[in-house]
Amino acid sequence: RSNATIQGSGTLTTQGITTLNMASANSNLTLYGSRTWLNQGTVNISGDDFINFSNTNGAPTLINVGTATVNLSGSRLEPFSGSGTFNNQGTLNQLSSNHTLSQIAFHNPGTVNVQAARLNLATTGTDTGPYNVDAGTTLEISAGTRTLAPGSSITGSGTFLISGSGIATVNTPHSLTLGNLTLNGGELNGSGNVTITGPLNLTGGNTTIQGSGTLTTQGITTLNMASANSNLTLYGSRTWLNQGTV
């Protein structure tokens, strides 16, 4: 059939392999009410299918526990829709074409592996686990506020991009070391220290770095924004310590 529904207020626990690969185009699995889906196995979201969170009579939640895996291997841009919460305590793998998380709250105390294309976080949430970004791939924050809290990290030779209205916040006592950062609009914020060991590229319109922490740049920083008369604005008591080339 085209669409499937799981509703009610109980907890659905899956311990094996769950595969979304429906015959009809753009089909979905809809979670209704206050249903909690506790994944203890593997969830494969493939084809052009997606999971729809319906907030009718509640707010559904998907919890990917510490030993479990969710694989984004489909062709649909947004694998999740509606209004709900995805708590990734296990492993989330970005395996195929570009994917955007924009409609649901996403929290990552687990591990996210960006192994193909682009994973765009266009939603508010808190991160206390690692993001591993492979060469040739991109982790993007394009909307909402991501709080990069103690325990979070962004590693790998892929691109870390903050764009649009996206905000990345690093507050003390946490400090963050990045291999690279591209700001295409967007904002870096917070009281925590951020060190960029490689390139810092400013490519879009006006960009903001604010807060009270120290930004240390050790590679090449390039301001070459696409929009005319664009600027990088430093707000607050932010200190920029350049140890490379601007």
For the segment 89-101, what is each residue's pLDDT rounded down to a tens digit? 999 999 999 999 9
Instruction: Give the separation between CA 13 and CA 41, rounded to whole angstroms.
Output: 9
Alpha carbon 144 to its chain's center: 10
Predicted local distance difference test score (pLDDT) of residue 56: 84
User: pTM for this one?
Assistant: 0.97
Residues in CB range of 135: below 8 A, 6 or more apart:
156, 157, 158
More confident residue, 206 or 181: 181
Instruction: Give the separation between CA 181 and CA 160, rounded to whole angstroms.
Output: 5
Please check the confidence at residue 2 and state whether its pLDDT lies above 80.
no
Instruction: Give the separation between CA 101 and CA 52, rounded to whole angstroms.
Output: 12
Residue 1 banded pLDDT, cuts 50, 70, 90: low
Calculate mean pLDDT across residues 109-118: 98
Q: pLDDT, tens digit, for every residue of 22-77?
A: 888 899 999 998 999 999 999 999 999 999 999 888 899 999 999 999 999 999 99
Predicted local distance difference test score (pLDDT) of residue 57: 82
Q: How does the average pLDDT of the chain come out, rounded? A: 96
